[in-house]
Amino acid sequence: MKRQIATLGYMLVCGLCLCGMSAEAQQATKTAPEIVRSSCYMCHSTQGNNPDLGFIPRLAAQNQTYIEEQLKAFRDGSRADPPAMIYMWPIVQALSESQIKQTAEWFASQPPPTPFPPSAAASEGKEIFLHGVLDSDVPACASCHGEKAYGNGIFPRLAGQNSQYLLAQLLYFRSGVRNDKNADIMKQVALHLTDSQMNAVADYLSSL
C-alpha cells in the first residue's frame, strides 16, 4: 500500500512536471526532423533543396561547421543584413546549442541541391571562380571554396546555391552588414568585384 501511494505520488509529480513544461523545454526534447518540420521547412524545405525563392538559401549538403557558425552569427547579431534580421534572428533565439548542432547535422547530411540552368553570364563566372581577376586583385574563389565549390569547414558550399541569394551576400559583404567573425576575407574579396562580375559568378555557381 505504502509503495502504491509512493508510486502514485511519483506519477503525479511527473505528470505535473510534463504538463507544466515550458515551450522552451518541450522544444529542447525535439529531434532534428521535428525541429526542421516545425521551424525551418516553411522557408528552407525539409531537405534544404527549396526551389528558387530569391533570398532564401538552400541548406542541402551545406557544411555542418559553416551552418553552425552562421546560426551563431545570427544569434550574436554580427550577421546583420536585412533578411537575416527579419527572418533568422527571431528563429535562432529559440534554439539551444544542441539544437543548432542537430539542425546543422541534418541539413549537412541531405543530398546536394538540384542545379539551376546556366545563364549566358555563367562562362565569365566560371573564369572568375577558377582563376580570379588578375587586374583587380580578386583571388580565385576555388582556392578556398574548392574546385567544385563544395567548400569545407567554415568555407561554405556554393554549388547549386540560389544565384539571387549569392549575389545578395556578395553585396552584403561589400557594404559590411555581414560582419561575423569569419567575414573579413569575403569583405576584401567583394570590395574588388564589380556588380556584373558578382552576377556572373553567382550564376555560374547556381548551375553547379
| Among the listed residues 40, 60, 61, 122, the single contact to ligand HEC using CB under 6 A | 40
CA distance linking residue 148 with residue 150, whole number of Å: 6
Q: Strand runs (DSSP E) across 1-86, as ranges?
A: none
Neighbours of 125 (CB within 10 A): 24
CB of 132 vs ligand HEC, minimal distance in Å: 6
Confirm or reject binding of residue 200 to ligand HEC (CB under 6 A): no
CA distance linking residue 81 with residue 178, whole number of Å: 6
Confirm or reject binding of residue 143 to ligand HEC (CB under 6 A): yes
Neighbours of 37 (CB within 10 A): 13
Confirm or reject binding of residue 113 to ligand HEC (CB under 6 A): no
For 79, phi then psi, to 5°, come to: -100, 100
Write down the number of H helices and E strands in the chain. Answer: 13, 0
CB of 18 vs ligand HEC, minimal distance in Å: 24
Q: Which is nearer to ligand HEC, 25 or 96 (CB)?
A: 96
Confirm or reject binding of residue 166 to ligand HEC (CB under 6 A): yes
Stretch that binds ligand HEC, among 7-15, 26-34, 40-48, 112-120 (CB under 6 A): 40-48
Q: Which is nearer to ligand HEC, 10 or 87 (CB)?
A: 87
Residues from 45 through 104 that contact ligand HEC (CB under 6 A): 55-57, 59, 62, 67, 69-71, 79, 81, 83-84, 87-88, 91, 95, 103
Burial group, residue 122, by CB count within 10 angstroms (0-12, 13-18, 19+): buried
Neighbours of 39 (CB within 10 A): 18
Q: Which is nearer to ligand HEC, 69 or 208 (CB)?
A: 69
Radius of gyration of the chain (CA): 21
CB 68 within 8 A of CB 76: no
- Interacting residues with ligand HEC (CB under 6 A): 35, 39-40, 42-44, 55-57, 59, 62, 67, 69-71, 79, 81, 83-84, 87-88, 91, 95, 103, 128, 138-139, 141, 143-145, 154-156, 158, 166, 168-170, 178, 180, 182-183, 185-186, 189, 193, 201
